[in-house]
């Protein structure tokens, strides 16, 4: 028979343990990543079957283990010529990615479901399912045809990224192709949004598609704010005041997006969180060396990123030039929250598109971001907004605006 002291200790432990469990930090209600890229071979090659273990930063197992319960999977195409042949190729490339996302959803309905409304995101989570949403990166894939925006909506696309690297037929880019004569951002030739871009924004408003200004030039962002009747988003951008990169947003545009009710999704991309030209030089040299070894004109990230020689080379670079960390990500979140307000900041990874930082190298480490936010002093209510609440609010407001048209 246990002694009285032992029984009292057991009783004390029994009363304390539940309280400790109740006080343990909980996951946010929703963790929503607005930018996860996918390769063109997604769900086509066995190595990219995301229902199994893959070399990708995001697969279903990594999402489940890390507590990342919803993500926008991205229909991205590279910028090409503004010609009928260029548009046709872009349309075909986009179709490959829509089909790939559809294949994932068809093969694993017991683990992940499409969400085309904020309410479906919440319902999927309550049912113990992951949510897949679709975002367009580079509206060049519309092929200069607004009807394709309607078709994209029908396929599930819920945000429209206006441009990527290099100017397109909608607006100027934050990274124009200056080597081939495109004017530098904020130069005299930086015209901002085109008439077709204005038509696309207006159509997106009527459909209920969020307008995304990440990758857009400052002038294009200003035009989008004027043209859109609904709040806009920056799906994966950080703060230029902290890192002077053209892909980041200056404080005046952070405020302007917030004043219109929008949200800026701070991105875990190394060059936008930390200025490290030595690392960039080392990475460029590695890629040039690999391309030469393979007899290629240039490095092909689609084919070469997962090669052993690439992984070994990147590991060596990491030793000499460490990546930014989750604390650097949180510093940008703090800055955006200070400038734009806590209701106007969110999170994006840019996983499988170059994203990944110390502490958040893939989706399995998602809880480290939540821990870093708590360490920085954000309350659970704030974290819930940052991790998805703000984006879902904007999405609802875009839906409500569409219903008025």
Note whether 285 and 165 are same-domain residues: no
Pair (114, 35) in one structural domain: yes
pLDDT of residue 17: 38
The torsion angles phi and psi of 263, rounded to 5 degrees, stand at -140, 145
Is 12 within the bounds of a domain?
Answer: no
State residue 305's pLDDT score.
Answer: 87
Q: Write the pLDDT tens digit of every residue in 327-374.
A: 999 999 999 999 999 999 999 999 999 999 999 999 999 999 999 999
pTM metric for this prediction: 0.92
Alpha-carbon distance values, 271 to 221, 358, 372 (Å): 21, 13, 20
Give the residue ranges of the chain where pLDDT is below 50. 1-22
Domain CATH number, residue 156: 3.20.20.140
Asked if residue 1 is part of any domain, the answer here is no
Domain that holds residue 293: 276-322
CA torsion through residues 248, 253, 258, 261, sign: negative
Q: Is 270 exposed, middle or buried (0-12, 13-18, 19+ CB in 10 A)?
A: buried
Whether residues 112 and 123 share a domain: the answer is yes
Angle at 233 between CA 232 and CA 239, to 5 degrees: 125
Q: Does the residue 20 lie in any domain?
A: no
Q: Mind listing the pLDDT tens digit for each residue in 279-330?
A: 989 989 999 999 999 999 899 888 888 889 998 998 899 899 999 999 999 9
Of 322, 339, 358, the residue that ends a domain is 322
Q: 272: closest CA among 328, 335, 216?
A: 328
Percent of the chain with pLDDT over 70: 94
Domain boundary among 291, 322, 353: 322
In total, how many domains does the chain have? 2
């Amino acid at each position: 028979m246990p002694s009285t002291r032992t029984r009292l200790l057991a009783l004390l432990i029994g009363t304390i343990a539940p309280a400790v469990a109740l006080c343990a930090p909980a996951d946010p209600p929703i963790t929503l990543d607005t930018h996860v890229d996918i390769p063109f071979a997604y769900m086509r090659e066995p190595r990219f079957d995301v229902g199994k273990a893959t070399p990708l930063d995001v697969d279903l197992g990594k999402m489940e283990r890390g507590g990342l319960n919803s993500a926008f999977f991205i229909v991205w195409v590279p910028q090409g010529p503004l010609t009928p042949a260029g548009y046709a190729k872009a349309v075909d490339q986009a179709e490959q990615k829509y089909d790939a996302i559809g294949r994932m959803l068809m093969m694993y309905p017991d683990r992940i479901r499409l969400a085309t409304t904020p309410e479906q995101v919440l319902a999927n989570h309550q049912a113990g399912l992951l949510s897949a949403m679709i975002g367009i990166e580079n509206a060049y894939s519309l092929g200069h045809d607004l009807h394709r925006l309607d078709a994209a909506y029908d396929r599930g696309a819920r945000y429209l990224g206006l441009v990527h690297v290099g100017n397109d037929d909608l607006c100027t880019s934050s990274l124009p192709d200056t080597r081939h004569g495109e004017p530098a951002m904020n130069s005299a030739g930086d015209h901002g949004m085109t008439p077709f871009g204005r038509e696309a924004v207006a159509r997106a408003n009527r459909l209920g598609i969020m307008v995304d200004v990440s990758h857009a030039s400052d002038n294009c962002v200003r035009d989008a704010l004027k043209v859109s009747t609904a709040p806009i988003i920056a799906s994966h951008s950080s703060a230029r005041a902290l890192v002077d990169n053209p892909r980041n947003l200056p404080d005046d545009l952070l405020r302007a997006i917030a004043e219109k009710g929008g949200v800026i999704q701070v991105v875990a991309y190394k060059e936008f969180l930390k200025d490290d030209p030595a690392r960039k030089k080392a990475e460029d040299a590695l890629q040039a060396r690999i391309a030469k070894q393979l007899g290629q004109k240039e490095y092909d990230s689609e084919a070469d990123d997962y090669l052993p020689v690439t992984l070994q080379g990147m590991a060596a670079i990491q030793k000499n030039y460490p990546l930014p960390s989750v604390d650097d990500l949180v510093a940008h979140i703090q800055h955006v929250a200070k400038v734009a307000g806590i209701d106007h900041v969110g999170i994006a990874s840019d996983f499988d598109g170059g994203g990944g930082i110390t502490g958040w190298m893939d989706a399995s480490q998602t809880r480290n971001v939540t821990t870093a936010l708590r360490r920085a002093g954000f309350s659970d209510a704030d974290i819930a907004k940052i991790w998805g609440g703000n984006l879902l609010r904007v999405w609802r407001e875009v839906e409500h605006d569409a219903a008025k048209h």
